[in-house]
Every structure is written in structure tokens, then in C-alpha cells.
A and B are shown apart, each in its own frame.
Chain A
Amino acid sequence: MKKFLAVRIFNILVTLFVIATVTFFLMKLLPGSPFDEEKLADLSDEARMEFYARYGLDQPVYVQYAKYMGNLVQGDLGISYYYKGQKVESLISGRIGPSALLGVQATILGVSIGLILGMIAAFRHNTAWDFFTMFIAVIGVAIPNFVFAALLQYYVGLKWGILPVAFWESYDSSILPTIALSMMVIALIARFMRNEMLEVLQQDYILTARSKGLSQMKVIIRHTLRNSMIPILTILGPIVVSLLTGSLVIENIFGIPGIGSLFVDSIKVNDYTTIMGLTIFYSTFYILTVLVVDLLYGIVDPRIRIAGSKG
């Protein structure tokens, strides 16, 4: 197990190094910068050079790269080109709160409702229940979440006036965006859960369990759920990451100061250091989530535990 973790962490570091390098050079390849010649035309040459020097842009690219990577190792993502004098890491940490709250809420809501709907569909296979839940699932995937967001804003926010339409003022502000975000998750999880449960219910060991005289409920709880969860974990990883790191569109629609809107803004203004910082942040988060999912696999499925401890 220790060896497994050591290997995995080493792999993660290598992956992050590659991602950082690729992102850095991609940014350098892009035309344009926040400090285009024409925008700085009013400045004197001296002032301009000083300006470049402050951001380290006067040095050759390889020096910039070495510096950037050196800082990165110490957790320093550089200074934003746009938000004056602000460090990228503090920008991110200032914005993470709302995104994380929305993400956690949407994950819990989406996964639990999705699992329940999937289970209902599986147990009432080929009945109206099944068709109804799968109809919801199709809608959840087919209709983009910004359409849901707009509908929620119009009805719940404006017409009925139950919840705030937008902005980040109180806890109530988080409810509508959470619902809008979780629709997709509900749909995905419900569909997966239904298929997995149907698959597991066909297995011989369910017959063995029933032949012991266990009630339907006990068969489901003890023998079906855990085995159906294994493949769900696979899709859970990416879902959690995309929800926790903020949805670009939903945050913009609801005017929420989260990471998603920071990302969109920084792209609009060519704030390269922030873009790079966010990319690395997203990647790290993604890779760590995958690691957690893999460890969870081991807990849920003993067959994988053995394979893991050998490798």
C-alpha cells in the first residue's frame, strides 16, 4: 500500500510538471498580452522597461520559465497582470469559497437524488416509474444548465419571489445555482445507477442471496448497492471536480464571485498568470480527486484492494 501511494504521488508530480510546462509555453505562443505595445504607447521607454521588468518580461523565455517553475514549487503562482499587485494564489483562495459551497451542495444533491431515481427505475424496470425517471434523465442531459438557470431565475426568483434571483448575499443565494448545477449530475447518476443495478440484479450472487431467504430490502442493501456503486465511482471523480471548481456559465448567470467567473474574466483580459495559475489549480484538483476515487475503489471492491497492494 505504501509503495502504491509513493508511486502514485510520484506520477502525480510528473504529470503536474508536464501540465505546467505545456501551459507556460502555450501562453507564450499566444499573440497579444495585457501590455501590448499600443496600450503602453503613452509611457516613456524607461517607464515601459520598468514595467516589463516588474513582471519579469524583459528576460529571455527560458529564464522566465525557470523562474516560474521555481516559484511554482514554492506555491507561488505569480502576480496577476490584471488585478493590480494581487498574487494569483490569493485571488484563487478569495474566490474558492462560493464555488466550493455550490460544488459540495450540488454534488450531494445530485448524487443522492440521482442514486434514488436510478434505484427506483431499476426496481420498477419497464414500468411507468422507469420511463418517468429515464425521461428526467434525458432532459437533464439534453437541456443545458443555463436554460434551467434562466427558468429558475424567472419563476422562483422573479415571478414567485421565493429566492434571490442572483448575486452572492446570503445562503439563500446559493440555492438556485445549486439546483441548476445538479440537474446534469442527477441525470448522469440516475442513468448509470439504473443500468448498474439492473446488471447486478441479474448476477448469480443475488440469486444466492435470495435463496438464503433474505427479504427484498436486505438483498438490495447488503448485496446490490455496494456492487452497483463501483462503476459509479468512476464517473463521480470528474463530476466532483467540475462541480467543485465552479461552473463557468452558472457563476456568470447568477453573478457569483467564484472561480468560474474568475477564469472567464481572466481570459477576457489576457491575464496570463491567472489563467496559468487556474489551469494548474484545476489539474491538481482533478488528479487528486482521481487518486481519492482509486483509493475508494479499494475500500468498496476487495478485488481491487489486492491488485493495488501488489502494484
Chain B
Amino acid sequence: METLLEVKDLNVSFRTQAGVVKAVRGVNFKVNKGETLAIVGESGSGKSVTSKAIMQLLPNQTATYDSGEIIFDGQNILEINDKKMEAIRGSEIAMVFQDPMTALNPTMTIGKQVAESILNHNKNVTKKEALQRAVEILELVGIPEPAARVNQYPHQFSGGMRQRVVIAIAIACNPRLLIADEPTTALDVTIQAQILDLLKDIQRKTGTSIILITHDLGVVANMADKVAVMYAGRIVEQGTVEEVFDSAEHPYTWGLLKSIPDLDADEELYSIPGTPPDLLSPPIGDAFAARNEFALAIDYEVQPPMFAVSETHSAATWLLHEKAPKLSTIVQEKESVRAKRKGKKNLTLAQPIIQVRDLKKHFRMSGDSYLKAVDGVTFDIKKGETLGLVGESGCGKSTTGRTILRLYEPTGGEVYFNGKPIHGDLKKSDENTIRQKMQMIFQDPYASLDPRKKVLDSVAEGIDIHKLAASAKDRKDTVQNLLEIVGLNKSFMNRYPHEFSGGQRQRIGIARALALNPEVIIADEPISALDVSIQAQVVNLLKDLQHKQDLTYLFIAHDISMVKYISDRIGVMYLGSLVELAPTDELSKEPLHPYTQALLSAVPTPNPKIERGRERIILSGDLPNPINPPVGCRFRTRCPYAMEKCGETPIWKEAQPNHWVACHLIE
């Protein structure tokens, strides 16, 4: 196969106020014509910097290329002048960005934004021709009625449609290399499936090579031919997708693969201990050594070279040195010792701690229209269980959680806590009790802690409000104890939030929620802002706490694989209503509602063999506008089985014992 792009010993650093950050430290890889290379890594691993270096899009005031070559089509991109680079950018190499909500100019029509690229690279094309071509490309990427929509502005498009426009801009000049930087991270899972499908389709039609930057191993398994795993600015392992997934050689790759919950395994979720190193002063030896349970003495002293495992597969770990101890036996021993998941809870007899009946929350929009964020949901949360609530953005899952807590005043319906009503007018004392017994963990660990408050005061806030501490010493002791419970050093209490990493902040958030000895914790997307290896740490902590402190969780998330791992039962929401509720195993094996089926099918699994072979249910279209949802079954506009009867609202019924569903197909 012919090589299109070769990156040789690339080193990139950034000047920051704190010092020089060595973001990319000696990266080597090749991309052949027509193939897809996935670069996988966590935030700060240097994967985005590498991709922007290829495009020469790094800010030239702060970024410097210390050494290396980027050879595209025989010429070194790092050595050519701006004019020549402008000619390559957009026409030979193009890029798709992460967030479609911000990647388009809000004050320029869609058509002009696509045509601009064509005009820029074809001197003899007229504006009219370029716009005509833009219409064709928009049609190709699946924008309905492109001729009419070229005159619209980005805000008139949904997120998924905007990402199609971003892709249209990228492919407008038939680039030979397409760099997609986390192209689906900001999208919902059913939309992600559409976009991945589109990228593959474009590759089939145009033969372009793709560099896919992502942190999601499921997406990699679905899309990639080759994989490069990055850690702390270096590629630690690369090979074909089968080689990396089936016979990974680097301990970091092992860790990543094992951090992903696998429903069949009955053991505790593996988590890589610690956090990535600070690239202001990268460690001398292997940057991963400090987190590597198999680290050898030499790992701390000398950076390992790339050891070739096969012609295509190589990894940078001393474990592959011929004199290194053979690990396979050690690994097996460790595996067997690892804590078994505390057997399945038997919750069939458990009493409901929270009962939600026909709960409604409508927000008033401009004029007389209402956004029916939650429109009549009914379910129980049993004592000691974890109820997962999943659904795409805008389905009302977060609003449900907040309305149960009465952070929002419900529009209608009833909520009972331990059999006592907690809706309607409450006595101040009753309200205080609820506020104590139910706590919340928020999504964004950066925004949910007051930056001007010490950890001590943030965690103790609830204790202060409810006057639970007898003395200042008592208060301090409680907080110290809480910090230890969530796995933080108790001396951290005198520090401020900015001194902590995302994972540590989320632990502080958990400590704050635990401070009042709650019975129920509502966790609203508690891990979605965290990196894969840190997610596993937090999920394990939550499970451990549940076991020790007898907690009940309502776990709200859009990451279905994680919800499947942590939850005893799962509820699926769509456009403000609950469409299915069942025990986790049953829901994953035998989903009844067509939306649940599509949702589960849309999640890519980190297994290339499964991903290659499987038929995905790809839902057409976007979520309807929740201000004016479809009458009757709300899913019917996207449902493959929609029939006449779906115009009526389906009844919420127990189709099988403990398996609730609202669908006309199930009688």
C-alpha cells in the first residue's frame, strides 16, 4: 500500500505561563492511502496536538515544533511556506472538529460556508457554480432539501445536522486525508451511529484516508484499520485494530481495554490507578511507569523504545525486551486474585424508597408554549438498588432527577419518600429532612465546586446548613473522615478546587453528597466529564460506597455501557416520557421497545470482530422538538415499526414481571 502521510519523530511544545509543556514527544506513524488510522488517548495525551500539527493549525505564538518531519505526499509540511500550506489545507488535507455547535460561523449561511472552501481552491469556479456544488455535497452528507437549506444559518440546524455540514465543508474539495478530531463526542449515541456510518460511506466513495482522533474504544473498533495508542505525548502502542484489541502488549492499553465495563464479567471494574503525569516536567523513564503495576526498575530510568511484535504491531514497553520476565503467568495470577464483584443483589423483595407517580415538569417558553421536559413518568426506586436512567440529550432524564429532589418545582404528579409524600406544600422541617436524606452529585466537577471555597468548607456546607456539627473540631473531623472515605488525602481539605484534577474534584463532590448521611443519591452524569481510566475509578468508588453505606442511587447518564455496568435496573427515557424499565440483564438481552433496541444497537462495542459483523439499527432523523412533540407515542416519527395505532398514547404496562414498557407492539 502506498504511504500518504508519514510523521517522523514529531516533537511539539507549548509555552505557557507555568513553563514549557512538552505536548508531543517523539511521535512516529504512517497513514496509507484509503485506510483509517485511529489515534486513541485520554485528554492531554497529545492526540489533538498531533492532528493540528499535521494541519499546521497550532497557534504559532505559543507552539513550537522542536524537531521532526511531517511528510505528506513527498514534501515536509513543517518546511513549506504559508502560501503552500494554505493550498494544501482544505483541499488535500481537511479536518472535522469535535463540537458542531461551535465549529460553524453563526453569521454566515451554510451554503456560503461550504462554497467558500470550493472557491478558495478552484480559481476558475464562479460563485454560482460553487454554491451548486455545495448543494450536491450537502445532499451527499444527508442534509434533507439541501437546495433550500443552503440559505439557512447554523442555528437553524440540529447538532447532528451541523456535524454533517462540518463534514461537508471538509470533503468539499475531495481531500486525500481527512482528520476527524473526536467527531462524535459531542453527539448523542443514535446520531453518532449516523455520523460514523456517513464517514465510512464517504471513505468508500472517495477513497480518502482518515485519521480518527478519539477516546472511545468502541468507535475505534467500529471504524479503524490501524490503531495508535497515545499516552503523555508518545505513542505507546500501534498496530492493526485486531492486534491492538486482541493481543495488546502495553500495560496502558491493557488498562484502557479493561476499564470498559463488560456485562458478562462478574468482577470489579478495572481502573488504572493514579493520574497522567504533568507534561511540564515529563518523567525521565516510561511516563506510564508510576501507574503501571508491572513496572520494572528500568521503566523509571530509561524510556522504552518501540519493540516490534510483528510487521505492523509494535509497543513501547520494556516488558517486550528479551530479558524481561515473561508476564503472561503473572497476569493470570493477578486476574484470579482480583476482587470478585459482590454477588448480584437480591432486590425483588426490597421496599421502594422513592415512588414517582405521573411526575411532570413543564417549562414555560416564550409566549404560550411549554417545554414538556418531563411529561408523566412513573417508577419506583427500591431501597439499596441503583436505578439507571438513560436517554439522549433533551429526553428529560436530568430534569426528572432534579424534580424528584425538588430543585425544580414539579408541574404535576406525586413523589413519595419512604411512603411519605414529598410533593406539594411541605412543612419546613419535612423539607429539611428530604434535603438531608437525598443528595446530588453533579456532572461537571469544575463548575459544581465554588472556586473560592476551601474543600473543607465546600464539603461541610450541608453540615453547616443543617447544623449537624457540635463544634469546629467535630466539623473538621467529619470532613477528614469523608475525604478518606472517597479516597482523598485528608490534608486536601485546606486546598482550593483548582489544585485538583477532574477525578479528584468529582470525589470531593461525592464527599459533599455523603456529608449528610443521605439514603438516596441522585448522580447526574457523574462520570461523563472524566477520562476513561478515571471514570472506572469513580464508578468503583460509587459501587463500594453503596455496599458500605447502604445507599440507593438514581444514576443518570447517557453512556449506556457504564449504566449497564452499575445499575440493577434501567429506565429508558425518550422526549420526556419513560418508554421502558427493566432489570439490567433483561433489558440488554431482550429490549422490548423499538427505541431501546435502537439505542442499545447504536452503542459501539470495543470489539472489532463484533463491530465488523453486526447490523446496526440506525434511526433516521433527529429528535423532534420537545416543545411540540408528536401526538401519541412520541417515538413514532422515528420508529421503524410505526403504525396507525401509534397516534394514541401507549399505556405504561408491566409486559413481563418487573419489565415495564410503553409501546403498542407489546400487548
Which residue numbers of A lie inside 8 Å of B, CB to CB? 125-126, 203-205, 207-216, 218, 222-223, 226-227, 230, 300-303, 306, 310-311
Contact = CB atoms under 8 A, between A and B. Distances in A.
A212 B117 contact: yes
Given A204-B97, A208-B166, A222-B116, A213 B106 contact: no
B86 A214 contact: yes
A208 B104 CA distance: 7
B86 A223 contact: no
Grouping DSSP codes into helix (H, G, I), strand (E, B) and loop, the A interface class, with mixed when no group exceeds half, is helix
Contact of A212 (B156, B169, B367): B169
Contacts of B104: 205, 208
Interface stretch (B88-96, B129-137, B142-150): B88-96
A215 B153 contact: no
A126 B97 CA distance: 28
B108 interface: yes
Nearest to A201: B59
A218 to B, nearest CB: 8
Given A211-B57, A211-B90, A214-B86, A227 B97 contact: no
A126 B61 contact: yes
Contacts of A126: 61
A204 B366 CA distance: 30
B106 A302 contact: yes
A222 B95 CA distance: 19
Given A204-B98, A215-B82, 18 more contacts: A125-B61, A204-B97, A204-B103, A205-B103, A205-B105, A208-B103, A208-B104, A209-B105, A211-B89, A213-B89, A213-B91, A213-B117, A214-B90, A214-B120, A223-B105, A230-B107, A302-B155, A306-B156
B61 A215 contact: no
Given A205-B102, A227-B105, A213 B90 contact: yes
Nearest to A301: B107
Nearest to B55: A211
A214 B89 CA distance: 8
Nearest to A127: B61
B95 A211 contact: yes
Contacts of A210: 57, 89
Given A223-B105, A302-B107, A310 B366 contact: yes
Contacts of A223: 105, 108
Nearest to B85: A213
Contact of B57 (A207, A226, A306, A311): A207
A39 B116 CA distance: 76
11 contacts: A203-B102, A204-B102, A208-B97, A211-B89, A211-B95, A211-B97, A212-B116, A216-B82, A301-B106, A303-B155, A306-B156
B89 A212 contact: yes
A80 B116 CA distance: 61
B291 interface: no
Contacts of A222: 108, 116
B143 to A, nearest CB: 17
A213 B103 contact: no
A175 B452 CA distance: 51
A94 B155 CA distance: 49
B196 to A, nearest CB: 20
A215 B82 CA distance: 9
A208 B97 CA distance: 8
A27 to B, nearest CB: 40
A37 to B, nearest CB: 58
Contacts of A227: 105-107
Contacts of A207: 57, 97, 103
B427 to A, nearest CB: 41
Contact of B86 (A215, A301, A306): A215
Most B C-beta atoms less than 10 A away, residue of A126, A215, A302: A302
Nearest to A203: B102
B664 interface: no
Contacts of A306: 155-156
Interface in B146-167: 153, 155-156, 166
B106 A212 contact: no
B121 interface: yes
A310 B368 CA distance: 12
B99 interface: yes
A211 B120 CA distance: 11
Contacts of B91: 213
B87 interface: yes
Contacts of B86: 213-215
Nearest to B62: A126
Nearest to A311: B366
B371 to A, nearest CB: 15
Contact of B106 (A125, A205, A209): A205
Contacts of B90: 211-214
A311 B102 CA distance: 25
A207 B57 CA distance: 7
Contacts of B170: 211
B659 to A, nearest CB: 43
A236 B205 CA distance: 51
A308 to B, nearest CB: 12
Nearest to B156: A306
A215 B103 CA distance: 18
Interface in B55-95: 55, 57, 61, 82, 85-91, 94-95
Interface string B485-526: 000000000000000000000000000000000000000000
Contacts of B113: 208
Contacts of A300: 107
B15 to A, nearest CB: 11
Residue among A205, A223, A227 facing the most chain B CB atoms (10 A cut-off): A205
Contacts of A230: 107
Contacts of B88: 213
A26 to B, nearest CB: 37
A207 B121 CA distance: 17
Nearest to A310: B366
B418 to A, nearest CB: 46
B153 A302 contact: yes
A300 B393 CA distance: 30
The 9 closest A-B pairs by CB, nearest first: A213-B90, A213-B89, A212-B90, A204-B102, A302-B153, A212-B117, A205-B105, A211-B95, A204-B103
